[in-house]
């Protein structure tokens, strides 16, 4: 069994718990997720099984979307509901217009300081392990991109809260985003609940629950939930190999260079095809390899393929 399963992670399970569940339920040896969700969060968690674990890193960098519940008036040390309360303020004076204005400063390219309870590292050690020992260290800010940040609803008053829809790049901490919005509003805020609604091409509406996957394993119908590796990476341009090229590829020999004119149009989008990652597929559509394009010297403008992953 090789492919990606779009699992709907329930709150209360760690991402590792979900991977262990998939491994046991499907009877597979190799399985891994493509991006951690906090234990209290729910939503889309793609799990790679079999040969698809070899391409999980390419899904890890995908953009993501979330729905978040933000509580105003409270600051916690972890920026979420699980943390220790550090400050309490009355948010009664905050209006919907105030929140809308604050959100405007967090769209586009922004800088974030990772929270101590995170998987980042300091001197080779995970931040969350340091935090559990009560150690707080300086963290360098990181650059992330927030493509969309919309206020879905707002409840004003002494128990003010807001629901946000967020689309963002890899590495964005939504709980830190809520914390920083609270700082701008002057009353503080924390992330109360989070649902990941999209991870790259995987969406919440098509995710399979733990219970559904368990039932499918008993019924022998799990295959309907397994997306082939090539389909999971459909956002990458596809180059179809000739049968003789597929045979040579199995020996680690890259396919012959191609003229730009016969490559997928998205390869030349932006005018910088060199270095672009592409899927190499067999004639029947199976993912054979991932490769990066490079100008083939002396080949009259042809683009060659530098192999990164061979799956045959």
Residues with a known catalytic role: 38
Three-state SS string across 1-63, please?
Answer: CCEEEEEEECCCCCHHHHHHHHHHHHCCCCEEECCCCCCCCEEEEEEEEHHHHHHHHHHHCCC
Q: CB of 154 within 8 A of CB of 162?
A: yes
Q: Give dist(CA 180, CA 158) in Å, integer.
A: 19
Pairing of strands 125-126, 238-240: unpaired
Of 263, 298, 295, give the one whose Cα is nearest residue 306: 295
Q: Give dist(CA 193, CA 89) in Å, integer.
A: 20
Q: CB of 11 within 8 A of CB of 41?
A: yes
């Amino acid at each position: 069994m090789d492919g990606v399963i779009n699992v709907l992670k329930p709150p209360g399970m760690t991402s590792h718990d979900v991977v262990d569940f998939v491994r046991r339920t499907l009877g597979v040896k190799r399985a891994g997720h493509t991006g951690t969700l906090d234990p209290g969060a729910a939503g889309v968690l793609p799990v790679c099984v079999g040969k698809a674990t070899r391409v999980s890193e390419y899904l890890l960098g995908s953009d993501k979307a979330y729905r978040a519940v933000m509580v105003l008036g409270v600051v916690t040390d972890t920026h979420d509901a699980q943390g220790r309360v550090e400050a309490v303020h009355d948010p009664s004076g905050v209006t919907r217009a105030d929140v809308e204005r604050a959100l405007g400063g967090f769209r586009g390219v922004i800088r974030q300081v990772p929270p101590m309870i995170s998987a980042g590292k300091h001197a080779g050690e995970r931040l969350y392990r340091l935090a559990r020992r009560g150690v707080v260290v300086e963290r360098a800010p990181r650059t992330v991109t927030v493509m969309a940040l919309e206020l879905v609803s707002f409840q004003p008053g002494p128990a003010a809260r807001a629901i946000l829809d967020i689309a963002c790049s890899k590495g964005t901490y939504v709980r830190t985003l809520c914390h920083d919005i609270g700082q701008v509003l002057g009353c503080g805020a924390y992330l109360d609940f989070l649902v990941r609604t999209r991870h790259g091409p995987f969406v919440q509406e098509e995710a399979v629950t733990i219970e559904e996957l368990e039932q499918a394993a008993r019924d022998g119908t799990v295959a309907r939930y397994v997306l082939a590796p090539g389909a999971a990476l459909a956002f990458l341009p596809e180059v179809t190999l000739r049968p003789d090229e597929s045979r040579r590829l199995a020996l680690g020999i890259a396919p012959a260079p191609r003229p730009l004119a016969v490559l997928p149009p998205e390869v030349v989008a932006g005018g910088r095809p060199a270095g672009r990652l592409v899927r190499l597929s067999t004639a029947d559509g199976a993912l054979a390899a991932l490769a990066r394009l490079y100008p083939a010297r002396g080949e009259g403008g042809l683009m060659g393929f530098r192999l990164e992953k061979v799956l045959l």
